[in-house]
Amino acid sequence: LSIRDAAPLDSDDFLQSALPPSYILAGWSLGGMLALEAALRQPQKVRGLVLIGTAARFCSGSGQAEGTAAAVLRAMIAALPSLPRAVLTEVFRLTAAPFEMTALELEAQLEAALALGVPHLQAGLRLLLQTDLRDRLPALDVPTFVLHGEQDRIMPSVLGRALADVL
């Protein structure tokens, strides 16, 4: 699922009509959270999940010490309209760490993200800010593979381990 598909996830009609009768969902980071949400809403349709760099909750707080501070996401949401390239450059550098992106790679990522438009990017950040699936995960009975990097600078690996333990 892409960020363009995120808004319709508020609608069970989307999950019932836009997706095939049975499927395996894969998602990275926010995409993994969206895949979890889809599986929680329509578990009879989901044959499996592949979650990469995903957590049940992105932000620290509410009983979770690890994760990104909510204030950081709020600042990014506020800065996106006036400084989209600067905000996205920082996100992409953190995403690639510990590796360095070439200037061409960074420019390609920036162009692809900017093509989505600032409102879509802000919507994705709001989803990261607001989504907390921890209380609902024990009810999920879908085969799931969780893959998480130890050096992930955005989503701490301890959150991936916690997700795997619950699932």
Q: What separation in angstroms does the CA of 76 have from each of 64, 73, 107, 118, 159?
A: 21, 5, 19, 11, 22
Find the mean pLDDT for residues 111-133: 92
H/E element holding 164? helix 157-166
Which of 2-6, 45-49, 65-69, 91-95 comes out lowest in average pLDDT? 2-6
User: What per-residue confidence (pLDDT) applies to 99?
Assistant: 86
What pLDDT score was predicted for residue 153?
Answer: 83
Tell me the whole-structure pTM to 2 decimals: 0.85
The answer to whether residue 67 scores a pLDDT higher than 50 is yes
- Please give the pLDDT value at position 1: 45
Query: Could you give the C-alpha distances from 71 to 4, 67, 93, 94, in angstroms and in order?
Result: 24, 12, 19, 17
Decide if pLDDT at 10 tops 60.
no
Q: 């997700």: which residue's tokens?
A: 163
What does the alpha-carbon distance between residue 82 and residue 61 come to, in Å, rounded to a whole number?
A: 28
The mean per-residue pLDDT over the stretch 38-50 comes to 91
For residue 18, what pLDDT is reported? 64
Q: What is the mean pLDDT of residues 128-146?
A: 94
122: left (phi over 0), alpha (psi -120 to 50) or beta: alpha
The tens digit of pLDDT for each residue in 140-159 reads 999 999 999 988 888 889 99
Residue 66 has phi, psi (to 5 degrees) of: -90, 160
